[in-house]
C-alpha cells in the first residue's frame, strides 16, 4: 500500500490547494472527470461564455429604441458551442498534463472510496489500488438533482452538466426550476432563439432573492419566455419525433424538444465510504466542518460544494485558500469567513445580492433603514435603460449599529456594482460616510450605489 503525505480528492478548487510550497511532499490528486471541476467544464465559465453570446443576440434584437437598425437572424449553435468547449476542454487537458508532469504529484484518473481512516481504494481503468494518506482533502463537489418523476427513465433528460453541449439548438426547451441555474440557461436559450417554457413551483423566479428583486425579475422575463409559476412537473412521456410531453400540475400537457432539470444540487458525498473514514455529514449530505475546514476525522479536510451550503465557486476558492494555509501552517490555523457570501445571476437583467433580504432581516427583529435608487435615475443608467424605472439598488441597514445588513441589485452590471457593498459589510464599515467619504466617477453606473447610500443615510437619520 502506497503512502502519500497529502491526497486531494477532486481537481476543481481542490486542485488549487497544491502549489510549489508542497514540492517537498508526496501528493496524489484523484479525479474521475476532467480537471477544473464543475466551474470550468459544465458550470460558471461555459455558461457565462454562452451568456455573453446571448446578450449580444438580445441587444441586436432590441436596439430599435436607441435608433439603431439591427436584428437577430439566428445562431450557429455548433459554432457557439465549439467556441466555448474547444477552449475549455483544452484548459482542462493542460491542467491534467501539468500535474502529471510534476515529480512529487501522482494523478489517479478514477474514483476514490474510503476503506478506513485516511485509507482509500482508488478504481481506475487500470484496476484498483489502495493507498493511505497523512492528510486528505475532500473536494468532491456536487451534482444536479434528478427528481423522482414518473416517466423520466423513458426520455432523454438533460441537466446543466449536459445541456450546454447539445448537438443542436432546441426549437422548444422545457426548463424545470426557477433558481439561478434555470434562469441563466433560460436567458441563454431564449436569447439564441429557442422557445422557452420555464416551470417553477414557487410564487416567483429567483425565490431566494429579496422579494422586490424576484418580483421585478419574474415580471420582466415573463415578457420574453413562457413562465409557469406555482406549477410542478408531474409526469413525462415520449411522443412522436423524439419529443417529450410534460405533464404539469396546472394547465394542459406541454410538448418540448429538450427537457432540462434545474431543481438544485446535491453533494457528491454518498457512496465514498465517509462513515468508514469517521467523517460526519449533515441531513443534506454535506460534510460537517469546523471554522478551519476540518472534518470530524483527524487529518481530513473538506471544501466547496462538499461542505458548504453555498454551492458557489468563490466560496470553494475561499475554502481552498483556508485549507491550503492550514495544511502549510498547522501551528497557526486560520478560519473561513462565510458571513457575507455574495451571489449573482448573469441574466438580462442581471441580479446580485449579499447579506439578508428584507424579509429575513425583519424576521430577526432588526429595526431597518432602507435606501433605494433607481438605476435609470443616474446619467449612465438613463442612457442604458431609457425610461425603465424598476431596475434598482436596494440597501438595508440596522438602525442599532448603522451597518449594512443587505444589498440587493437588479439591472445592468449588478454583478460588479455589488462589490463595494460586499467590501463595506466585510470590513464593518458604517453606512454613514460611505457615499461622501470617497469619489464616485461621473457618469459611471456606480453613481447608483452612491445615491442608494445617500438615501439610506437619510432613512437612518430620520
Whose CA is closest to 309, among 262, 341, 275, 276? 341
Q: Is residue 442 among the annotated active site residues?
A: yes
Distances (CA, A) of 156 to 151, 237, 243, 393: 10, 10, 9, 41
Catalytic residue among 104, 158, 348, 442, which? 442
Catalytic amino acids?
A: 442
Amino acid at each position: 500500500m502506497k503512502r502519500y503525505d497529502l491526497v486531494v480528492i477532486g481537481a476543481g478548487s481542490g486542485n488549487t490547494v497544491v502549489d510549489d510550497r508542497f514540492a517537498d511532499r508526496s501528493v496524489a490528486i484523484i479525479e474521475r472527470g476532467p480537471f477544473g471541476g464543475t466551474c470550468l467544464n459544465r458550470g460558471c465559465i461555459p455558461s457565462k461564455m454562452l451568456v455573453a453570446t446571448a446578450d449580444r443576440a438580445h441587444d441586436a434584437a432590441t436596439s430599435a429604441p436607441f435608433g439603431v437598425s439591427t436584428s437577430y437572424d439566428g445562431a450557429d449553435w455548433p459554432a457557439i458551442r465549439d467556441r466555448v468547449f474547444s477552449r475549455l476542454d483544452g484548459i482542462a487537458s493542460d491542467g491534467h498534463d501539468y500535474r502529471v508532469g510534476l515529480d512529487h504529484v501522482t494523478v489517479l484518473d478514477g474514483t476514490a472510496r474510503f476503506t478506513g481512516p485516511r485509507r482509500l481504494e482508488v478504481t481506475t481503468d487500470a484496476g484498483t489500488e489502495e493507498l493511505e494518506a497523512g492528510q486528505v482533502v475532500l473536494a468532491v463537489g456536487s451534482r444536479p438533482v434528478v427528481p423522482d418523476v414518473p416517466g423520466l427513465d423513458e426520455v432523454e433528460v438533460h441537466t446543466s452538466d449536459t445541456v450546454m453541449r447539445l448537438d443542436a439548438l432546441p426549437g422548444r426547451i422545457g426548463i424545470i426550476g426557477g433558481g439561478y441555474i434555470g434562469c441563466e440557461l433560460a436567458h441563454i436559450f431564449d436569447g439564441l432563439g429557442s422557445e422557452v417554457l420555464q416551470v417553477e413551483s414557487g410564487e416567483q423566479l429567483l425565490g431566494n432573492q429579496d422579494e422586490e428583486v424576484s418580483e421585478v425579475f419574474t415580471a420582466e422575463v415573463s415578457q420574453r419566455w413562457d413562465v409557469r409559476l406555482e406549477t410542478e412537473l408531474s409526469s413525462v412521456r415520449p411522443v412522436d419525433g423524439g419529443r417529450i410531453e410534460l405533464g404539469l400540475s396546472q394547465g394542459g400537457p406541454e410538448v418540448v424538444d429538450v427537457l432540462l432539470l434545474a431543481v438544485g444540487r446535491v453533494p457528491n458525498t454518498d457512496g465514498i465510504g465517509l462513515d468508514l473514514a469517521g467523517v460526519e455529514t449533515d441531513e443534506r449530505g454535506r460534510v460537517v466542518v469546523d471554522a478551519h475546514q476540518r472534518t470530524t476525522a483527524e487529518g481530513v479536510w473538506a471544501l466547496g460544494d462538499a461542505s458548504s451550503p453555498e454551492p458557489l465557486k468563490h466560496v470553494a476558492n475561499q475554502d481552498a485558500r483556508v485549507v491550503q494555509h492550514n495544511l502549510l501552517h498547522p501551528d497557526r490555523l486560520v478560519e473561513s469567513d462565510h458571513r457575507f457570501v455574495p451571489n449573482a445571476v448573469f441574466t438580462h437583467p442581471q441580479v446580485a445580492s449579499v447579506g439578508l433580504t428584507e424579509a429575513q432581516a425583519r424576521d430577526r427583529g432588526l429595526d431597518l433603514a432602507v435606501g433605494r435608487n433607481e438605476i435609470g435615475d443616474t446619467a449612465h443608467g438613463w442612457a442604458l435603460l431609457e425610461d425603465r424605472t424598476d431596475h434598482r439598488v436596494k440597501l438595508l441597514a440596522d438602525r442599532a449599529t448603522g451597518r449594512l445588513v443587505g444589498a440587493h441589485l437588479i439591472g445592468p452590471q449588478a454583478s460588479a456594482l455589488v462589490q463595494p457593498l460586499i467590501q463595506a459589510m466585510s470590513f464593518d464599515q458604517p453606512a454613514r460616510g460611505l457615499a461622501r467619504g470617497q469619489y464616485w466617477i461621473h457618469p459611471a453606473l456606480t453613481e447608483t450605489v452612491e445615491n442608494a447610500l445617500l438615501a439610506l443615510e437619510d432613512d437612518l437619520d430620520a
